[in-house]
């Protein structure tokens, strides 16, 4: 694999490593319910090796809420970014976007709940600084209605942005912050804590929101798209199993 060959070359001289990963669709397969996306024990063990290595720094950056993300990965020594990086915590780092307010999100949650009563299968998930509208369980003939409701609610909230994912809409404060800006923030701080003078940066994700990180880290990181959709990433892998193989290889490099 071209990617593994490049990592062999770049990590072979003792360079440090910074790894940033999406969660759903990257570390776990996409599932019908967000609550069912459980990290496999073998994957957690590999992540633990990366997190414990002095040569490596590991971050998980997700649309999930920060508390949910931390509970699912459940590892010390990891930098966690929730709500697309609006909240970041771990390894003595702490960030919450100063202009991100919960009030607009709460009002939108109430508006969505009222509008979706007539749409069986639609589900709302409160994430603190964001609210998600899941419609994976809505019958295909009613999904257009969900999209129309989302657009109508958003039109009344210029203070919010909408991010479309895999049969989910995320509503969050419009503050000029996304996975790209969050990833740059993480990288700049994690690199400083590495003992090595040079760092290899790896970012992997499968979602449309990860495209912002791919663009923001162009020329700075090895960017990896998980899946078959068009992407700005430099490299591509087929699925979660390939990500697991990659992580095992990275862990072997920095723990040898």
8 A C-beta contact, residue 79 and residue 91 = yes
Greatest pairwise CA separation for the chain in angstroms:
60
Rounded to an integer, what distance in angstroms lies between the CA atom of residue 53 and that of residue 6?
A: 21
For 220, the 3-state DSSP assignment is coil
For 31, the 3-state DSSP assignment is coil
- Pairing relationship of beta strands 235-237 and 222-226 according to DSSP bridges: parallel
State yes or no: is 22 an active-site residue. yes
Q: Given 5, 13, 22, 159, which residue is catalytic?
A: 22
For 240, the 3-state DSSP assignment is helix
Tell me the CB-side half-sphere exposure of residue 87, using CA atoms within 13 A: 19
For 194, the 3-state DSSP assignment is coil
**Count of other CB atoms within 10 angstroms of residue 22:** 25
Residues designated as active site: 22
């Amino acid at each position: 694999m071209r990617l593994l060959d490049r990592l062999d070359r770049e990590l072979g001289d003792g360079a440090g490593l910074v790894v940033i990963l999406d969660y759903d669709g990257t570390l776990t397969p996409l599932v019908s319910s967000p609550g069912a996306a459980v990290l496999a024990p073998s994957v957690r063990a590999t992540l633990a090796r990366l997190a414990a290595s002095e040569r490596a720094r590991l971050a998980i950056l997700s649309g999930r809420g920060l508390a949910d993300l931390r509970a699912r990965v459940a590892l010390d020594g990891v930098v966690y970014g929730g709500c697309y990086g609006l909240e970041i915590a771990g390894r003595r780092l702490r960030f919450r976007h100063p202009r991100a307010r919960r009030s607009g999100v709460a009002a939108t949650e109430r508006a969505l709940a009222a509008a979706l009563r007539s749409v069986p299968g639609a589900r709302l998930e409160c994430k603190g600084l964001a609210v998600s509208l899941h419609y994976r369980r809505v019958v295909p003939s009613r999904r257009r209605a969900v999209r129309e409701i989302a657009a109508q609610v958003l039109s009344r909230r210029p203070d919010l942005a909408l991010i479309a994912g895999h049969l989910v809409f995320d509503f969050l404060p419009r503050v000029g912050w996304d996975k790209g800006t969050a990833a740059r923030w993480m990288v700049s701080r994690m690199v400083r804590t590495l003992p090595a003078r040079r760092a290899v940066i790896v970012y992997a994700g499968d979602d449309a929101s990860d495209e912002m990180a791919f663009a923001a880290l162009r020329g700075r990181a090895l960017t990896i798209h998980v899946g078959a959709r068009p992407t700005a990433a430099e490299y591509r892998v087929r699925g979660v199993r390939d990500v697991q193989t990659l992580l095992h290889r990275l862990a072997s490099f920095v723990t040898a």
